[in-house]
Structure 1
Amino acid sequence: MLPLFDDERNRRKINLGGASSASSHAAILDQAKARRMEREAQRLRADSAVRLQAWWRGVHEAKKVKAEMRRVFEGDVLGLTGLRCLVLIGRDEEVLGAWSSAMTEETLLKNDESWKVLVRQASLLLLQSVAQNPRSKYALAHLRVLGILISHELDYLLDHGLYSYLGRAISNIPLEAKSSASLPPLVSLVTSPLSSPRAFPDLVVYILTIPLLPNRLPLASLTTLSSRIPYAQFTALEPSRIVASLEGVSAAHLLANLLAFTPPRYSALPPPALGGYLHLFAALLAIFPANSFEPPKARSTPSRPTALSDSDSDSDAPASTTVRVVSTFNAPPPLPSFDQRTTKRLLVLPSPSHIHSLLSTRAPRPALISFFCSLGVSWPAKWGRVLGAVVVHTGGGLIREIYRSYVRGTGLGRDDNPTKLMDPAHAQHWPSLLFLADLYTQSLLTMGDDEFFAPASNATSAPRNPLTLDELTSFSRQLLNIAFVLYWREDQAGIAEGTVPGLNGGLRWEGAREKVTRCLQAIHARDSRRSFTPPGHWLVSSQIDMHSFVEAALAEERQLTSETDLRGRQSKAQIAFMSPRLGVLHNIPFAIPFEVRVGVFRHFVANDMLSRGRLESYGGGRMHQVHNWGAGRTHVSVRRGNVAQDGFDKLGEADLKSPVEITFIDQFGQEEAGIDGGGVFKEFFTSLCREVFDTDRGLWLATKQNELYPNPHAYATEPHSLNWYRFIGRILGKAMYEGILVDVAFAGFFLAKWLEKQSFLDDLASLDPELYQGLIFLKHYTGNPEELSLNFTVAIDEFGVTKTIDLIPNGSNIAVTRENRLQYIHLVSHYRLTKQIKLQSEAFFEGLSEMIDPKWLKMFNQQEVQILLGGVNSPVDLEDLRRHTAYGGVYDDAEETIVAFWKTVNSFDQEQRRALLRFVTSCSRPPLLGFKELVPNFSIRDAGNDESRLPTASTCVNLLKLPRYKSERVLRQKLLQAIHSGAGFDLS
């Protein structure tokens, strides 16, 4: 070895070159850093070498020690020393196999503490071995030993993951190996500890979550497991702890396995156990986001906007009176696809047969309600079918029970304290109220008005409303207060993001609001047809200042219009989020007085006109038009005998929001003169309506009450016919835009489509009385409905040819039964009231929407829209008419003929007064808010001294041309002759 000082590596290299050295200061620092890093690397290599050598020596020594212990073990397999060596050796399959093969019950169960401690540790080694390879050559020996030990060391094994290891062992046996000899002893080990209450939660978490568990076990083992599960112990389960230890996929497998084992035993389960079982299901369902089990089918974007929400929906979800809210938040990722057998078992959950079996038990109502609420949140696609099954099975009894026992006495929606609605103290009440709202809404879909209004004292067996009218009055007020608070809150972000307390699955306040609104609208629809609530019941006037409300609503609408221009059409949920007052007007408009809403509607129209330069101002309910008769006007000539066709040809693409000037061409081809400086559009419109709404033309049909609806026949869906519907919609929208009253009545179920509302079974009575009576007979039929040989089809007759239409896929092969007859009744009604006129209605509403923003109309129900179109169907108030009548020529209020005129008209009955009104204004009904709203005002002008002439009228300007009759008798005779003959229209 060289002397230390001669080692070149340790010599310090000194540069004596001074300033002339080629190395800079930076280079010297880099070299020093490099040498430092090299020394650090050498140190690490040396440390690693030391550790590696130590490890190698340890392994080498361990092998020697294990070999020695194995030698000792082989010499004392049944003794204490051998057992101690086995535990120290650990997972050695040959050693464990030799020991378990040699053990017998007598040798295992020694009364020695040291032996017991070591046996416990050995049992864990056996469990680990079986879990890793349950089909090894020693597995049966291991399982035999564990079978002997389990009853003596149960607590120790449960504490150290017995069921976790057993679950892994069963899972590691392939599905196709269900004949494996290891499975029967494994199932025996699973069931042996179940007498201990501690075992059941582990069984649920580690065994019942195994995918396709029933398919993995041989029949004998499956029977053993199924019969030994302690179902009564569901009472003691803590669902929150179970759920906390599971992932979504494991929870789905647990649901599927429970549905394979438990339903046949529902009737034998005591109510507390069934309650625990349902609470567990509710908690498990809460893990999954909506549509996890059955994602909704993607739908293409419609080519044109439409106001229809239920026009072609065949889903099982309950038909909604509001647009279903689509969350704008990111949805959780979907679950991985399941095996077909798992999916089939999960489909049992919302099936009518499963629902019926649950409802046949004595399940505690709170648990049942919790289960149904969770099912509705996680599986909305099947929710309508579930509700229908509940209604069929309980016959309204459950509705009555839930309301009287769980909803009526709660603090939710009370008039004296509505603001405490979202207090967590109400958590226990929300599930009952929301489930009741959904359930009652579903029942109304197939409840006729005769049943709805049946007296509670009716002692016959005839069906009746499950809630009395007094109860409905209280319940609807409760719902109204809840809905109003949820729409009115300025914190709409909290409504969209916050969840309802007490509900599994995290239902958001937005979803709860939709459920409440849907039920509220359905009850209000019945009250609108036949009132049963006291005056002012639906109003919230006492809670808000109406003047401020209107001003704020107008401001919100202007802001929303600008947002819509930027982002496109807004949903109801978005409108409610951005505009609380518009949310009230669009969803629960009946909470605001009708006159206020009409005023808001007129403001919306006026604002639109102002934005187009058509108005100078709008105030005091009066529009101040801009009189620019030339620029921006549409000029159209129409022939007297071809008003509809010429209007269709020339106004189809015109901007109808601008003034339209009509010139009539007489039979000789000459232009007729107009008198209003702006054409005679109102007369044109009156003539047009007379033609296009004539049922002989084939576009419209009339009910028994002479109410119009689109013709459902196939030729009405041809492109040319749809263009006519679109044109009629535009023209009718023009009338509403200009404030022209239309003397035409539409069927309520057709008007409902304008407002995205659901038509009910009772609407069918006006459309097809025979079909309605047949469906009512089926609903109340006490025999077996299958005796009637009905299936899920509907027959339609067109031009003498009968066609059969399936209501659901393969409907011709699905019989109508006691369980599904309500679904059949709903589908038949839906087809006749909605689907048959789908295309016609869409075309009509597309044209209407070009003139009237759909969200403006959503402030009204069907009856109110009819009033907007044609005025109020109330007696003609002559005093009001006289106060708002203008005079021309020599006439004034004190002139002799005018005095005689009002005296004569005052003697008319209401039919004669309506005839006069129709003669002068073209509409027999007075304006909604009185004659001050008639534009132009009702006017009377003198028409000369010739008393042989009849009075004439210019309906385009609401003008009566009245000759100066000297005799009151002659005036009466001539006036009645004119108004009843329909003659006398004059343009001069």
Structure 2
Amino acid sequence: MSSLFGSEERRRNINLGGASSATTHAHILNQAKARRSERENSRKKHDSAVRIQAWWRGNMQVRNVRQQLRQSFAQDVLGVNGLRCMVLIGKDEEVLGHWSTTLTSGGQDVFFQHANGPERESWLVLTRQAALLILQSVAEHPESTYAVTHLRVLDILLAPSSSWTVPIALYLLQRDLYRLLSQAIRGIPVESKNSPTLPSLVPLLTNLFSLDLGAMLLKAQVDFTQHILTIPLLPNRLPLTSISVLSARLPVNALLSIDPSLFVPLIDTEEKVHLTSNLVAFIPPRYPKLSAPALKGWLSLLGATMKSLPTYALEPSARPSSSSGSNSNAVESDSDDESSAAIRVTAVSSFAPVPAPPSLPKLDTRTLKRLQTIPSIPHLKSLLSASQHYPATRDMLYECLFALCVVWPNRSDGVLSAVLIGSGGGVVREIYRGIVRSSALGREGVDGSSLMSPAHAKDWPPLLFLTDLYYQALLTMGDDEFFSSASAAANVPRNPLTLDELVVFSRKLLNIAFTLYWREDQIGVLQGAVPGFEGAGGAAGGLKWEGVREKVTRCLVAIHARDSRKKFTPPDHWLIGSQIDLTSFIEAALFEDQQLSQPTGTRPLSKRHIAYLSPRLGILNNIPFSIPFEARVSIFRNFVANDMSSRGVDRRQYFHKRTRVTVRRGHVAEDGFNRLAEADLRMPVEITFVDQFGEVESGIDGGGVFKEFFTELCKEAFDTNRGLWLANQQNELYPNPHSYAREAHNLNWYRFIGRILGKALYEGILVDVAFAGFFLAKWLGKQSFLDDLASLDPDLYHGLIFLKHYTGNPEELSLNFTVAEEEFGVTNTIDLCPNGSNIPVTRDNRLEYIYRMSHYRLTKQIRKQTEAFFDGLSDVIDQKWLRMFNQQELQVLLGGVNAPIDVDDLRSHTNYGGLYDDNEPTIVAFWNVLKTFDHDQRRAVLRFVTSVGRPPLLGFKELHPNFSIRDAGSDQTRLPTSSTCVNLLKLPRYKDEKTLRDKLLQAAFSGAGFDLS
């Protein structure tokens, strides 16, 4: 039975006990699954055993076959059969080494006889495969025993004179010849210059360029550039003899004629840097011999590489350190000192996110040193010289140089200065007249919305390079040179652009800047890249539209500054009023300012943040001259009014919270300094005078007593005999640069004076003090340059102008980068730059010397004094309010406009007291007499009454308190008197106009007349 039905274990168990003894349904299912899984596992084990056995048998068979192939190969090493066996064996170092050694040891005749025999086709196919095998062997083991032998074989197979060379070369080229050669070179340490492999490797790099490869020659050139010229420190890896071989056989003209778009997008950032570094070692020495297409190709390649690199990629260590993570780029400084960035941290969170800058490669010091060649003056000179022979390359040159300035901002000033020196300003004219003048960018009537279109990609580089170049020229251009004409003598330096050209050019820049500030899409301006300058790293790389706006604005403001000093543009040239509705603009600006109002104590928003958060305030803070001055003054007064309102101050009411200060006559400045140093000067201040007997003077300060206090304080504080201020030849004040003025106590005085002047601006009190333009520029966060030096130190200014245009060798003048300062009879030498005493002034660096000397005298010497003053000023006046004006306008805001006095306007805003009214005979006579006065006489009367001889900019309605006239009795011999603290004229009731005229002029020009009664 057991044999018939099988063993007991395999019998099927049948339950005859009925349903009551059966297991549950779930249990039955689980048992079925378990049995099925067991069968599946058994099947897998069986299949695995079969595969293992097959693999084992296969391996055994391969070993047997390989052994047989080795035996056959050994019997016919140089024959076709032996070659076939070697190819079938594959990567076997012993077999490949045996073949290469035999072939190079005198077996070439035997081997190459098959190339023309009956088995030629088979031999050629097998030889190509054998060549690839030994090439791969060298790539993987470049310093192996057989590497040199393999390379000798490859050199034989790729010999230009052989009929089989081209098929073998094409076969290898299609299978990454240059990538494998690159792998081999990279596999040898940089320091192993004596490696025997290198001298054999180098000839293979250029062998293909002498072959007739047809259309594949381009691929060979592209692959060579992509894989070989991107090898880090390529010149440093090769022995001198190999470098000479490579340099001599390098097809420079052909390589430079390749379209960069075929390989530049295929290589990463680090490879682009190494490509640039390696090419700089080979190309510049050949500039004089380059053909026009080759030079254009080189500029195109260099420019394409630069444009695709992230900023600072060529000098990673120069990238500014970040202290605030990815938003660090949102922080900017509007001052000339990068360490004094004024931007509150809390503003960053509300600002558009700035992408983190792309990571930069870590570069070897030798690579960095070679890269320094690019922006060096000798290299730029030779490049400019080479391009002069081929005018067709000039456009490409400017694009290349601009890309260099973008990717290497720390060297941009040197590049621009070298171009200016090398061309004598001719490049500026050439770019403007040949390219920019006809460009549609910024042209009147052209739709501004298309400004950022890719269709204008080619127009941006020359225009932006011109703005950078011309701005750099303005830094060391005096006003005499700027306003020179074409009719000037040949030896007289002149502006590279005529004034008529500047009118057109500046209008272009204005239209571009306004369009970029006015755009509602400020995130696109902040993060969007200029077409063709996208760079690497996505949104974090390349040249952004914000950078374009900054460059355009910087040049535009510099041109406008010259026009502000001496008008050369037509009326309304700078205004864009036709493009906007001024009424709605002002209303929106006031609303936006309220939205951006900051709590007391926080640091102010920078111009960059304001431009992003508010297009209108962005225009007012960056290109304010595009809005009429009167409109900006009105906006300023409204800003102040809104600020007063937010603090609960109503100027029409007297009884509200005030800061009460008692001041002694004769000690106005001292008491004001001691008692107002920490007061909130945006709130009303009540002044009480104590006379010389210690008695409190009667009267209520409704604004006039404070004006008297302020007038007296200014007389003392700005007295040049006190040592804090000096006056130039135009009697304009600026801080004393002496070290005495930098002492802590005196810096507190500058801070206090800044607060007091801020109070004057806040209250609309006119100040009869004129400040030097370069000092006023500091109030606005601007730097001053050579053109401002003439007002400070005329002798130094003329000396620097002489140096700039000196035709001899500047080194004959024995100058270096130092400045001598004499204090207390001791002369100290100060370096203008690190190690300046050891750097002579030469023809190449004299512009830098001029800039540094001007910057030192105009900025560095008074930096601490200026910062203290501005710290006090900004405690009362918001920085963004001041930035709506330039230096000249700020002086007008402080002291009134130097314009004819409108008698009718003054009369309509005059109050009367005592027996006087507008129809009283003496008052009628007064106005009739005032109308007969000339300009100087009217100013004298106004100064006599108000202490300031200039009318307020927006008319006498802005004079606070209002101009007033009160009767002073009937004594015909008495002179008129005044109370300048309340702008009050005390006028006797003269009986005739002649007497009134004589007495009024006598009082006005005598400087007497203040009366407390």
**TM-score, with structure 1 as normaliser:** 0.93
Alignment match, 1:694: 719
SS at match of 1:375: helix
Change (3 A) 1:376 1:43: farther
1:143 CA displacement: 1.0
More moved, 922-931 vs 351-360: 351-360
SS at match of 1:680: helix
More moved, 658-667 vs 481-490: 481-490
SS at match of 2:966: strand
The counterpart of 2:637, out of the listed 587, 602, 605, is 602
Tell me if the contact between 2:131 and 2:154 (Cα under 8 Å) persists in the aligned partners.
Answer: yes
Alignment match, 1:484: 514
Alignment match, 1:470: 500
Change (3 A) 1:12 1:696: farther
Does the alignment pair 1:522 with 2:522?
Answer: no
Alignment match, 1:6: 7
Alignment match, 1:114: 122
Alignment match, 2:402: 373
Alignment match, 1:722: 747
Q: Per-residue CA shift, 1:691-739, capped at 9, x if unaligned?
A: 1011111111111101111111112111111111111111101110111
More moved, 567-576 vs 337-346: 567-576
Q: Per-residue CA shift, 1:904-925, capped at 9, x if unaligned?
A: 3333332222221112112111
Between the aligned partners of 1:285 and 1:27, the Cα distance in structure 2 is 75
Tell me if the contact between 1:662 and 1:679 (Cα under 8 Å) persists in the aligned partners.
Answer: no
* Equivalent AA in structure 2 for residue 231 of structure 1: V
SS at match of 1:361: helix
Tell me if the contact between 1:639 and 1:665 (Cα under 8 Å) persists in the aligned partners.
Answer: yes
Change (3 A) 1:33 1:355: farther
1:179 CA displacement: 1.2
The counterpart of 2:308, out of the listed 287, 294, 297, is 287
Tell me if the contact between 2:729 and 2:791 (Cα under 8 Å) persists in the aligned partners.
Answer: yes
Alignment of 1:41-440 (within 5 A): 41-103=41-103, 104-109=107-112, 110-111=115-116, 112-150=120-158, 151=160, 152=165, 153-195=168-210, 197-198=217-218, 199-292=220-313, 293-294=315-316, 295-298=318-321, 309-312=334-337, 328-362=353-387, 364-419=393-448, 420-440=450-470
Gap regions ≥5 residues in structure 1 = 316-325, 616-624
SS at match of 1:510: helix
Alignment match, 2:606: 571
More moved, 864-873 vs 194-203: 194-203
Alignment match, 1:814: 839
The counterpart of 1:760, out of the listed 785, 788, 796, is 785
Tell me if the contact between 1:312 and 1:835 (Cα under 8 Å) persists in the aligned partners.
Answer: no
Alignment of 1:714-793 (within 5 A): 714-793=739-818
Between the aligned partners of 2:430 and 2:5, the Cα distance in structure 1 is 102
Tell me if the contact between 2:898 and 2:950 (Cα under 8 Å) persists in the aligned partners.
Answer: yes
Tell me if the contact between 1:210 and 1:250 (Cα under 8 Å) persists in the aligned partners.
Answer: yes
Change (3 A) 1:331 1:896: same
* Equivalent AA in structure 1 for residue 253 of structure 2: A
Alignment match, 1:507: 543
1:237 CA displacement: 1.2
* Equivalent AA in structure 1 for residue 581 of structure 2: D
The counterpart of 1:591, out of the listed 617, 626, 644, is 626
1:554 CA displacement: 1.4
* Equivalent AA in structure 1 for residue 131 of structure 2: S
Tell me if the contact between 1:431 and 1:503 (Cα under 8 Å) persists in the aligned partners.
Answer: no
1:30 CA displacement: 6.0
Identity level (%): 62
* Equivalent AA in structure 1 for residue 679 of structure 2: A
Alignment of 1:856-895 (within 5 A): 856-895=881-920
SS at match of 1:851: coil
**TM-score, with structure 2 as normaliser:** 0.91
Alignment match, 1:835: 860
Between the aligned partners of 1:138 and 1:710, the Cα distance in structure 2 is 79
1:287 CA displacement: 3.2
Q: Per-residue CA shift, 1:381-424, capped at 9, x if unaligned?
A: 21112111111111110110011111101111111114232232
1:275 CA displacement: 1.5
Change (3 A) 1:40 1:868: farther
Between the aligned partners of 2:363 and 2:639, the Cα distance in structure 1 is 53
The counterpart of 2:971, out of the listed 928, 939, 946, is 946
Alignment match, 1:560: 596
Does the alignment pair 1:454 with 2:484?
Answer: yes
Change (3 A) 1:795 1:568: closer
SS at match of 1:52: helix
* Equivalent AA in structure 2 for residue 212 of structure 1: L
* Equivalent AA in structure 2 for residue 399 of structure 1: V
More moved, 420-429 vs 66-75: 420-429
Gap regions ≥5 residues in structure 2 = 212-216, 325-330, 341-350, 536-541
Tell me if the contact between 1:796 and 1:803 (Cα under 8 Å) persists in the aligned partners.
Answer: yes
More moved, 838-847 vs 567-576: 567-576
Alignment match, 1:826: 851
1:5 CA displacement: 5.0
Tell me if the contact between 1:308 and 1:753 (Cα under 8 Å) persists in the aligned partners.
Answer: no
Change (3 A) 1:181 1:548: same
SS at match of 2:852: helix
Change (3 A) 1:730 1:154: same
1:973 CA displacement: 3.5
Change (3 A) 1:922 1:227: same
Between the aligned partners of 1:3 and 1:171, the Cα distance in structure 2 is 76
Between the aligned partners of 2:983 and 2:455, the Cα distance in structure 1 is 61
SS at match of 1:584: helix
SS at match of 1:175: coil
Between the aligned partners of 2:14 and 2:889, the Cα distance in structure 1 is 104
Between the aligned partners of 2:16 and 2:467, the Cα distance in structure 1 is 95
Tell me if the contact between 1:661 and 1:679 (Cα under 8 Å) persists in the aligned partners.
Answer: no
Between the aligned partners of 1:942 and 1:37, the Cα distance in structure 2 is 121
Q: Per-residue CA shift, 1:871-926, capped at 9, x if unaligned?
A: 00112222322232222111122322223322333333322222211121121111
Alignment match, 1:322: none
1:565 CA displacement: 8.3
Tell me if the contact between 1:97 and 1:142 (Cα under 8 Å) persists in the aligned partners.
Answer: yes
Alignment match, 1:495: 525
Greater relative contact order, per chain length (Cα 8 Å cut-off, separation 6+): 1
Between the aligned partners of 2:975 and 2:781, the Cα distance in structure 1 is 47
Q: Per-residue CA shift, 1:92-145, capped at 9, x if unaligned?
A: 111111111222443443121110111001000010011111222212221111
More moved, 820-829 vs 370-379: 370-379
* Equivalent AA in structure 2 for residue 643 of structure 1: V
Tell me if the contact between 2:334 and 2:607 (Cα under 8 Å) persists in the aligned partners.
Answer: no
Change (3 A) 1:831 1:96: same
Tell me if the contact between 1:167 and 1:210 (Cα under 8 Å) persists in the aligned partners.
Answer: yes
SS at match of 1:641: coil
Alignment match, 1:622: none
Between the aligned partners of 1:872 and 1:203, the Cα distance in structure 2 is 70
Tell me if the contact between 2:194 and 2:239 (Cα under 8 Å) persists in the aligned partners.
Answer: yes
Between the aligned partners of 2:607 and 2:833, the Cα distance in structure 1 is 29
SS at match of 2:412: helix
Change (3 A) 1:48 1:694: farther
Between the aligned partners of 2:621 and 2:994, the Cα distance in structure 1 is 53
Between the aligned partners of 2:20 and 2:754, the Cα distance in structure 1 is 99
Tell me the matched-pair count.
Answer: 962
